[in-house]
Amino acid sequence: MQIQLRHWLISLFMIGGLILGGCATPQAASSDSTNLATETTTTPATTASSPMSNLPRLEGKATVVMTVNGSPITIEVDGTHAPVTAGNFVDLVQRGTYDGLVFHRVVREPQPFVVQGGDPQGKDPNFPTERLGTGSFIDPATNQARYVPLEITPKGADKPVIGQTLKSARVSAVPELRHTRGAVAMARSSMPDSASSQFYFALADLPFLDGDYAVFGNVTQGMDVVDKIQQGDRIESAKVTKGAENLKK
């Protein structure tokens, strides 16, 4: 009973960090080690003025190999259950957006949680490290930040729930893509449709995040590499090795 209570309290603390992070200042968001949120100061680009049809989609699956500390991490990206989220990630990989970026948040205590990176500001070695975790991908075609909607497919459903958590949508089913160890998912602020380029690896099964954050893939090889990532390590390269033809822009 004491072990279950401790686990529940830790989970509650982590969820609280996620919720609070979306409303915090950039400095506060960066200092909260359990916060998956990213700071957004503009309206997400999935409003009526910029519909989802303008976003890349992945129709099927793709394989991405990310190299960190000289070793490969193989990610299966699932466009079947998260076509827009997966399409955004694969498009950013193809653009070279992730090459050279920093893992700015690594949380292993009090229990394994996440390794988070993908802030484009991290490519600048002079950018203050305490502000990493606040940036988004700026689309050169529009000179505006690109945001993707929260996209979660309930188990057994034909299409994803868009723009809402499963709880908000009153869906009781678990997601098709869950926060199991090795899951790859998008970080966001408190606004559901605010994910852009920042992502995280789940270091353990994190069922309390299911239905709130969009999982779009899974590490199939190289989880031992993920386990060794330290805060400040950089993504040396990220390449699409299979399924590039499934990306539709």
Tens digit of pLDDT for each residue in 180-223? Answer: 999 999 999 999 999 999 999 999 999 999 999 999 999 999 99
| Distant-in-sequence contacts of 168-172, Cβ < 8 A, 24+ apart | 168/192, 171/211
Return the number of other C-beta atoms located less than 10 Å from residue 61's C-beta.
17
Residue 46 falls within a domain, yes or no? Answer: no
Strands of the chain (E only): list them.
57-58, 61-68, 71-78, 103-107, 114-117, 138-139, 144-145, 151-152, 161-162, 183-186, 199-202, 215-221, 235-242, 247-248
Confidence (pLDDT) at 22: 33
| Residue percentage of the chain with pLDDT more than 90 | 76
In tens, the pLDDT along 230-239 reads 999 999 999 9
- Residue 65 pLDDT exceeds 60: yes
- Residue 177 pLDDT exceeds 80: yes
Confidence (pLDDT) at 14: 52
Residue 221 falls within a domain, yes or no? Answer: yes
Q: Which residue has the higher pLDDT, 34 or 203?
A: 203
Confidence (pLDDT) at 49: 37
Residue 5 falls within a domain, yes or no? Answer: no
Confidence (pLDDT) at 152: 98
Instruction: List the domain range (segments joined by +) for residue 84.
Output: 56-243
Confidence (pLDDT) at 130: 83
CA distance 81 to 131: 33
CA distance 102 to 236: 9
Confidence (pLDDT) at 46: 40
- Residue 32 pLDDT exceeds 80: no
In tens, the pLDDT along 138-156 reads 999 999 999 999 999 999 9
Residue 43 confidence class, pLDDT cut points 50, 70, 90? very low
Q: How large is the average pLDDT for residues 48-57?
A: 69
CATH code of the domain containing 185: 2.40.100.10
| Token code pair at residue 27 | 């400095």
Domain count, the chain: 1
Which residue has tokens 């990306």? Answer: 247
Nearest to residue 114, comparing CAs of 231, 187, 202, 208? 202
Residue 7 falls within a domain, yes or no? Answer: no
Residue 82 falls within a domain, yes or no? Answer: yes
Confidence (pLDDT) at 39: 47
- Residue 161 pLDDT exceeds 90: yes
Residue 27 falls within a domain, yes or no? Answer: no
Q: Which helix (H) or strand (E) holds 6?
A: helix 2-21
CA distance 45 to 51: 8
Residue 110 preceded by cis peptide, ω within 30: yes
Q: Report the b/e string of 156-193 with b at 16+ CB within 10 A.
A: eeeebbbbbbbeeeebeeebbbbbebbbbbbbbbebbb
Indicate the pairing of strand 151-152 with strand 183-186.
Answer: unpaired
- Residue 100 pLDDT exceeds 60: yes
Residue 131 falls within a domain, yes or no? Answer: yes
Q: Cβ(78)–Cβ(86) under 8 Å?
A: yes
pTM: 0.84
Chain centre distance of CA 74: 16
Residue 129 falls within a domain, yes or no? Answer: yes
